Amino acid sequence: MSHTEHVEPIFRTSPERTAKMMAIVLGICVVGGAIFFGMWDYWISAPPTAGKGPVSEVKAPVAATGKEISVSLAFVESSDFRTLAFNALPGEDGNNPEIQASVGDKIVFNVVNNGKSFHAFGVIDIPEEGSAEFEHGTYIPFPGSEIASPSNPLKPSQSGQSEFIPAEEGTYYYICTVPGHREQGMQGKIIVGPKQSSETQTVQPT
C-alpha cells in the first residue's frame, strides 16, 4: 500500500478537557448574566439620543423676589420596586409633596437617595398630566435644577442639592430623570403663582 489509512478517529482533546472547557464557558455566562441583570437600572439609565423627548424651554431671566423655599426630598421604593416615589409611598403621609411658589422665588432642593436603585433629579416643564405628550418621552430638566443625571445617577445613600427659580406662572414637575422612574411614581408638582413682594424666608412643603 502506498499510504496508511487510519481506521480509528484521532482525538484532538480528551472528554475530560472538553467537559472542563464547557464548565468554564458556562461559568462565564452565569457570572456575566448576574452582573448584567444586577445592574439593569444602570444599563437602561441613558436612553439613545433619538429617544429623548422635548426639552424644557429655558425662560428669560426673572428678577428674584428674595424668597427662598427649602425642600427636602428622598427617593423611596416599594419592596418589589414596582412603585417609586418621593418621601413616602402612595397612600402614606408626605407622598410626593406639592410645592407652592411664586414667580421669582428660589426653590432649593435637598435630595437624598434612600432607595436601593439608581436615581437622578430635575425640574421639568411639560404638558398637563394625562395628555399624550405628557405620557411620552424623556424630558430634559431646567439648567441648574439637575442633581446627577441618567448616565451618572445618584447611588444609594448619595445626596445632592440644586435650585430652580420659576420665570413664569404655571405647573412644573420635579421628577426622577432616570427613564421609566417618573412613570412608576417619582413625580411631584410645583404650582407657581404670580410674583409677590420681596421677602426672604425658608419654608417646607406641606
Higher pLDDT, 130 or 156: 156
Predicted TM-score (pTM) above 0.85: no
Tell me the mean pLDDT in the region 102-124: 95
The whole-chain average pLDDT of the chain stands at 81
Between CA 48 and CA 145, with CA 60 as vertex, the angle to 5 degrees is: 50
Nearest Cα to Cα of residue 111 among 53, 153, 142: 153
- For 110, phi and psi rounded to 5 degrees? -110, 110
| Topology adopted by domain 49-193 | Immunoglobulin-like (2.60.40)
Higher pLDDT, 41 or 94: 94
Query: Residue 163 gets which letter from DSSP?
Result: E
What's the pLDDT score for residue 129? Answer: 57
What's the pLDDT score for residue 49? Answer: 44
Nearest-angstrom CA–CA distance, 187 and 195: 25
Return the domain boundaries, the chain. 49-193
Of the candidate ranges 52-61, 134-143, 168-177, 190-199, the one whose mean pLDDT is the lowest: 52-61
Expressed in percent and rounded to 5, the helix, strand and coil fractions of the chain are 15, 25, 55
- pLDDT of 68 > 50? The answer is yes
Cα torsion for 111, 182, 140, 86, to the nearest 10°? -10
Give the tens place of pLDDT for each residue, 157-200: 999 999 999 999 999 999 999 988 998 999 999 999 998 765 44
At 204, the pLDDT band (50, 70, 90 cuts) reads: very low
